[in-house]
Amino acid sequence: MFKRDPEDCPLSQEVTPPPPAVTEAERDELRRQGILLTSLQELYTWGNSHSVWPLNFGLACCAIEMIAASMAKFDIARFGSEVFRPSPRQADLLIVSGTVTKKMAPQVIRLWNQMPEPKYCIAMGACAISGGPFKQGYNVLKGIDRFIPVDIYIPGCPPRPEALLHGLVQLQKKIQGFKLTGPDAPRHLRDDQPCNCPVPEFGEHDLEPPANPEVWTAPPAIVRKD
């Protein structure tokens, strides 16, 4: 697992941000004068959030709605995400669009590992969230969040293209809330967070391991008190 050396990277050190010397009204006044005043953090998250390039990767029914979202009527290009990259090396966003079977799960996780940071994951549809209508199936993974960290969950079977766009906007808001330093910094700017996830293998009955404990813990069992 890749760990960043804190001495190499000043970003990861605790830096107390200086108090804002310029008020919002003064910034507006400067903007009227043709001077744009911003901070590195704002510039970074603004650029990051408006060019989230998804991976050209469809799994099942939801992939058709994902394609529909990129077509003329819904036009995902309005949000800066129309560039579907065929290679994970060039993509920022993994949209898990459909049922992940146990045969497919290792490849999905390998794709996630091949994507460079900063990277985000959207679990699109009931199947990617929990297995959905096929949850009882012997070959269906009960949610991709067992293996990779998921940023946004979009419910639906399949979600409408508008729902995908809404999820994308939520992701953009999440990115815009990122801090460059401190404990609120995102995964790729911190030392204590893993970048890669271990790829499971076929076991005798299930994937081995059946979940990644770093990103997923089993929810507490609901016991009825009689």
Partner 1 sequence: MSASDHAALSSQLSTPHVGGANVREVHDSFHGDLLEVSMGPHHPSTHGVFRMIVTLDGETIVKLKPVFGYLHRNHEKLGETVTYLGSMPYTDRLDYLSSMTNNWAYALAVEKLAGQAVPERAEYVRVILAELTRLLNHTCLAGFLMQDCGCSGTPLMYAFREREYILDLFESLSGSRMMCNYQRFGGCRVDPSADWLTGAQKLADRYGTFLDEFETLLTGNEIIIARTQGVGKLSPELAISAGVTGPMLRATGVNYDLRKVDAYGVYPRFDFRVPLGDHGDVYDRYMIRVLEMRESIKILQQALAGLPAGPIMDPKAKLRSFRPKAGEAYGRIEGPKGEIGFYLLSDGSPNPYRYRIRPPSFINLTVLEDMCLGHTVADAVIILGSVDIVLGEVDR
Q: Is 61 in the site for partner 1 (CB under 8 A)?
A: yes
Residue 65: CA count within 13 A, CB half-sphere? 20
- State the Cα–Cα distance between residues 161 and 2, nearest whole angstrom: 36
Closer of 66 and 180 to partner 1 (Cβ)? 66
Q: Tell the residue number behind the tokens 């045969």, with chain if given.
A: 103
Q: How far apart are CA 126 and CA 135, in angstroms?
A: 10
Is there a contact between 157 and 181 (Cβ–Cβ < 8 Å)?
Answer: no
x/- track of binding to partner 1 for residues 114-153 (CB under 8 A): -------------------xx-xxxxx-------------
Which of the stretches 7-15, 52-60, 180-188, 204-212 binds partner 1 when contact is defined by CB under 8 A? 52-60
**Site pattern 147..186 for partner 1 (x: CB under 8 A):** ----------xx-x--------------------------
Q: Is 58 in the site for partner 1 (CB under 8 A)?
A: yes
Cis ω before 155 (30° cut-off from 0): no
Q: In terms of Cα–Cα distance, which of 146, 148, 149, 213 is closest to 186?
A: 149
Q: How far is the CB of 134 from partner 1 (least distance, A)?
A: 4
* 53 neighbors 85 (Cβ within 8 angstroms): yes
Looking at 45, 49, 54, 60, which residue binds partner 1 (CB under 8 A)? 60
Interface residue list for partner 1 (CB under 8 A): 56-61, 63-65, 67-68, 71-73, 86, 98-99, 101, 103-104, 107, 111, 133-134, 136-140, 157-158, 160
